Amino acid sequence: MGKLANDGVPASPELPAGEGHRAARPSPPGPEVTWPTHAVPGLTIRKAMDIPALAGARLLAGAGGMERVVQRANVMEVPDILPWVKPHELLLTTGYPLRNTPQGLPSLVTELNARGLAALAVKLHRYLDALPDEMVDEAERLGMPLLLLPDAVGFDDILNQVLTGVLHRQASALERSWEVHHALLSVVLDGGGLREVAGKTSAVLGVSVFITTPDGRVLAEAGGEDELAGWRETSCFDPSGRFRTEHERGGIHSCGDTPGSHAVVPVVAGRVDHGRIVAFARDRQLDGNDINVLERAATVAALAVNKQLAVTAVESKYRGDFLRDVLAGRAGDRDQVVEHCESLDWDVDRDLVVVVAELDPEARPASAAAPHRRPAQERFAGAWHTVVTRRDPRAAVVGFAQEVVALLPVPQDGDADAVVREMVRQVAGDGGGGRRAFSTGVSRIVHDPAELPTAYEQARRAVQVGRQLEGGAALAHFDGLGSFRLLSQIEDSAELRGFAHETLHELADTGDPEMADLRHTLKVLLDTNLNVAEAARQLHFHYNTLRYRIGKLERMVGPFTTDPELRLDLALALKVLQMRGLD
């Protein structure tokens, strides 16, 4: 069952905000689920020495490796045993294959340890009278248990009893795994979500648990508050609180700056990656049994994600259709718009700004061999929904085919720009986890819902012009566009290029550093209204040096110091050169 959600691949959309923190619906009456209290550990060397056949064995070296897990047992009968050694194996030997080369035993220990051997058990006095001190020292250094077997015990008894113990524990682990899966599944069937799945998984393993999106945003968490906060401060998370999925692959890892270990399992369903489930343990080493439980939890988490995505898809379409009518001015009069928004739990009867965010074009197309991903626009819309509704649950935010539109409330201090910048920062994060760059446009403040269509067009214009001026990852406010609003309306880019070259002449050469320096001098002069003293101060030039540059500029472009019309043309031409995508 656990394999259903964990066929490692791809990456998916963000879940809508609040799913991981939404209170579960009351469970219907029924039989109470009995929760496993812990995962069943494997058969360690320490526990293996308690079985009857190994009761008389003595530990010669490697006490630091007593918690190594035994999964199989074998007998060494040939000198070249290394190709047949498997990880987590208990290797038994009388020393017969090495009776003539005891000097090679220390290096044998090194090679066996490198292959993941659990322990080496030796029976002396038949072919070897003693083990070399160098061999014992090497085993101690590596922490590989070296056992001395009693003369009377038979290898067949050891093999039989060790393998019986291994099989018994594996059967117990499978039974416990099924109990965990059944109990977790009941959470989803009873109406729970990711928060409940994280809580139950944390209770089973006794560790801190995070469930994240594919790029690492935390959707749900469980465990002690201090423990959770402590793990967020480790290098596994970035300063924004995002789990670094790009560096944390599936499996068991350690944080170099913190004691303990953590395990990462992908939440995958239908060949689409919906996120990660991560368990952190400070006081013990996580193992394969913990991974098994996490895989069960990941399967159930995938069910919860798919259920929420199905519900959200229907809700989003209905909300999107209505908001599209509002922004197009087709939703009715003011009172009808406000009333319908209230039914959707949106508050639009307050001062707002309209924000439009669009993904920037990718620099290069994704490789055909790359994992399948849910549409980037869906994940982008989910990220905005998460960030905006976390700040204000009654703010409208909807993802359309090519953009995300949010109606953000203006704070009491009136600084809407600060709110938008913070929203953009949270959505963008540090750019890790596969996030795409995007551009954002902001409208003027809206005081009445009837002004929303106009504000929407302002925000869209701000995105388009901002991207022309700054390239990708632009953030532009409609009021800050100035004359660029007019220039951006000219669709004939050849006409714009021609105007710039005819006005600036050789100054229009964007590939010449000297011309770029002179353009900067010209811009500062125009910005300071030809105040030579102030321009010289800003440029850090001597007054006479700037006067010389002015003469040089006038020989290139004409008498701009005495011709106001030429100054206007030059200012516009410089702005045209700032616009991108004209080549």
Q: What is the CATH number of the domain that holds 77?
A: 3.40.1390.20
Question: Could you write out the DSSP letters of every residue in 62-102?
Answer: -GGGTTPEE-EEEE--SS--GGG--TTEEEEE-SGGGTT-G
Same domain, 564 and 497: yes
Euclidean distance between CA atoms 213 and 273, whole angstroms: 9
323 found inside a domain: no
- Beta-carbon contacts of residue 531 (< 8 Å; ≥ 6 apart): none
Is pLDDT above 80 for 374? no
Same domain, 498 and 480: no
Q: What is the CATH number of the domain that holds 245?
A: 3.30.450.40
64 found inside a domain: yes
How large a percentage of the chain has pLDDT more than 90?
Answer: 32
Same domain, 336 and 464: yes
| Structure-model confidence comparison of residues 357 and 204, the more confident one | 357
Instruction: Write b or e for each residue in 455-486: b if 16 or more Cβ atoms lie within 10 A of its Cβ, otherwise e.
Output: bbebbbbbbbbbbbbeeebbbbbbeebeebee
Residue where a domain stops, chosen among 240, 274, 308: 308
Same domain, 73 and 155: yes
186 found inside a domain: no
Average pLDDT, the chain: 82
Same domain, 391 and 357: yes
Is pLDDT above 50 for 12? no
33 found inside a domain: no
Instruction: Say if CB 216 and CB 243 are below 8 A apart.
Output: yes
Residue where a domain stops, chosen among 133, 167, 201: 167
pLDDT of residue 102: 67
- Supply the angle between the helices 155-189 and 288-328 in degrees, to the nearest 10: 20
**Which of 248-262, 306-320, 322-336, 459-473 ranks highest by mean pLDDT?**
322-336
- pLDDT classification of 469: cutoffs 50, 70, 90: confident
Euclidean distance between CA atoms 518 and 388, whole angstroms: 45
pLDDT of residue 221: 93
Q: Which two tokens stand for residue 266?
A: 């992908």
Q: What is the CATH number of the domain that holds 547?
A: 1.10.10.2840
Range of the domain at 508: 490-578
Same domain, 335 and 452: yes
Same domain, 115 and 206: no
pLDDT, mean of residues 529-540: 93
Which residue type, as a one-letter code, is found at position 284?
A: R
The lowest-confidence range among 101-110, 315-324, 411-420 is 101-110
Same domain, 304 and 216: yes
In 76-223, which ranges are continuous DSSP H helix? 105-114, 133-142, 155-189, 194-205
Same domain, 335 and 410: yes
131 found inside a domain: yes
Q: Which two tokens stand for residue 456?
A: 């929407």
pLDDT of residue 441: 93
Euclidean distance between CA atoms 190 and 187, whole angstroms: 5
Beta strand 396-399 with 272-281 is unpaired
pLDDT of residue 454: 93
Instruction: Write b or e for each residue in 98-109: b if 16 or more Cβ atoms lie within 10 A of its Cβ, otherwise e.
Output: beeebeebbebb
Which of 367, 222, 274, 378 is CA-nearest to residue 10? 274
Residue where a domain stops, chosen among 116, 134, 167: 167
pLDDT of residue 86: 87
Instruction: Say if CB 130 and CB 105 are below 8 A apart.
Output: no
| Structure-model confidence comparison of residues 526 and 10, the more confident one | 526
Same domain, 52 and 160: yes
181 found inside a domain: no
Count of the separate structural domains present in the chain = 4
- pLDDT classification of 430: cutoffs 50, 70, 90: low
pLDDT of residue 370: 41
- Beta-carbon contacts of residue 123 (< 8 Å; ≥ 6 apart): 92, 93, 94, 95, 148, 149, 150, 151, 153
Same domain, 240 and 366: no
Is pLDDT above 80 for 18? no
Is pLDDT above 50 for 36? no
**Which of 12-26, 247-261, 299-313, 536-550 ranks highest by mean pLDDT?**
536-550
Is pLDDT above 70 for 10? no
pLDDT, mean of residues 544-561: 92
316 found inside a domain: no
Same domain, 509 and 436: no
- pLDDT classification of 348: cutoffs 50, 70, 90: very high
499 found inside a domain: yes
